[in-house]
Chain A
Amino acid sequence: MSVLTLTIEGRDVAGQTGGTILQVARENGIAIPTLCHLQGLSDVGACRLCVVEVEGQRKLLPACVTAIDEGMKVTVNSERLTAYRRRIVELLFTERNHVCSVCVADRNCELQDLAVELGLTHFDLPLLSPQASVDATHERFGIDHNRCVLCTRCVRVCDEIEGAHTWDVMGRGTEARLITDMGIPWGDSNTCTSCGKCVQVCPTGALFEKGRSVAEARRRRPYLPYLVAHEGRTR
């Protein structure tokens, strides 16, 4: 294991071989927005919010899954990146039905925070307003597909930490939905251990504890001490 040196946002930084741009940036106090990333879970590079510019690379690279290299020059914030990130969040909002004012996660939501951070004040794109359902068959928890952003944190925490692999994703494009087991109601799932880890890692109000009203979602992340969503953010 050796140390590599690179520059991020014009700053000289160093990191271990095999480390990702995201890790090194955060170790050095350089913020990169993320949504699907959750430290302690594997990274899938799905949300595309952490894309950065790397000098000499035509393509944008997701910081969470791009290993650092000697002499790399990384730009985290540029006008183009911010515009893309804002557009990505806009697409997430317009794809389903996110209504903060009646959401259990209001003021406790990573999607909402991202919109604020990125200055998303309105939508240019039309709302798709799909007819998504709510599965409230589980005794303690529910999933509101209207608020799901398909970050798959729940899928990964269930598989990698709990070892149950109850959650998965079915369908493609705008038809993609989270499913429990082979697409049966959550309450009928044989594999679900009702541990609640999925609810704790959900960045929005998609997964919720029953009985909680508007703005009452509480993420007890210390309950999962090996997971950290964002450095500097306490949830």
Chain B
Amino acid sequence: MYRLLDRITRGLASADELAELESLAAMVRDTSLCGLGQGSPNPVFSTLRYFRDEYMAHIDDHVCPAGVCKMEPREAAVAAGEGAR
């Protein structure tokens, strides 16, 4: 999850990877043994609930609306997308 989030914040991720993040987070929440594990994806869920548009901006528009994330150049994103699988 950290890796996927990291890629999103750097503007390297695709929409597929966001779906991947959501499914992974659900799986971790539902199958973890202890409360810490079950709660660990909560930040992902809550940010997705309230700021999905910002996620999408990182992915689709290659910008960070809050101006926090340092985005990799677009070419890097394209190259990373090709190399991701």
Classify A-B as touching or not with yes or no (CB < 8 A): yes
**A residues whose Cβ falls under 8 Å from a Cβ of B:** 45-46, 48, 51, 59-60, 62, 80, 83-84, 87-88, 124-126
Q: Is B23 among interface residues, defined by CB-CB distance under 8 A?
A: yes
The DSSP consensus for interface residues of chain B is helix
Complex: A126 Cα to B31 Cα, angstroms: 21
Q: Is B72 among interface residues, defined by CB-CB distance under 8 A?
A: no
Q: From residue 4 to 49 of chain B, which have CB atoms closer than 8 A to chain A?
A: 20, 23-24, 27, 30-33, 38
Q: Are A87 and B23 in contact (CB under 8 A)?
A: yes
Q: Are A124 and B32 in contact (CB under 8 A)?
A: no
> When A and B form their complex, which 6 residue pairs have the shortest distance between CB atoms, in order from nearest?
A48-B31, A60-B30, A84-B27, A87-B27, A51-B31, A84-B31
> Within 8 Å CB of A60, what residues of B?
30-31
Complex: A88 Cα to B20 Cα, angstroms: 14
> Within 8 Å CB of B27, what residues of A?
83-84, 87-88
A-B contacts, 8 listed (Cβ < 8 Å): A45-B33, A59-B30, A80-B30, A87-B23, A125-B20, A125-B24, A126-B3, A126-B84
> Within 8 Å CB of B23, what residues of A?
83, 87
Q: Are B32 and A48 in contact (CB under 8 A)?
A: yes
Q: Are B30 and A84 in contact (CB under 8 A)?
A: yes
Q: Are B33 and A48 in contact (CB under 8 A)?
A: yes
Q: Are B31 and A124 in contact (CB under 8 A)?
A: no
Complex: A88 Cα to B23 Cα, angstroms: 12
Complex: A45 Cα to B34 Cα, angstroms: 10
B40 shortest CB reach to chain A, Å: 11
Q: From residue 30 to 80 of chain B, which have CB atoms closer than 8 A to chain A?
A: 30-33, 38
Complex: A87 Cα to B33 Cα, angstroms: 16
> Within 8 Å CB of B31, what residues of A?
48, 51, 60, 84, 88
> Within 8 Å CB of A87, what residues of B?
23-24, 27
> Within 8 Å CB of B38, what residues of A?
59
Q: Which residue of B lies closest to A123 (CB)?
A: B85
B3 shortest CB reach to chain A, Å: 7
> Within 8 Å CB of B30, what residues of A?
51, 59-60, 80, 84
> Within 8 Å CB of B84, what residues of A?
126
B4 shortest CB reach to chain A, Å: 9
Contacts A45-B33, A48-B32, A60-B31 given; indicate if A124 touches B3 (C-beta within 8 A): no
Q: Are A46 and B33 in contact (CB under 8 A)?
A: yes
Q: Which residue of B lies closest to A122 (CB)?
A: B85
Q: Which residue of B lies closest to A85 (CB)?
A: B31
A5 shortest CB reach to chain B, Å: 27
Complex: A83 Cα to B33 Cα, angstroms: 18
A1 shortest CB reach to chain B, Å: 28
Complex: A45 Cα to B33 Cα, angstroms: 7
> Within 8 Å CB of B32, what residues of A?
48
> Within 8 Å CB of A88, what residues of B?
27, 31
Complex: A45 Cα to B38 Cα, angstroms: 14
> Within 8 Å CB of A124, what residues of B?
20
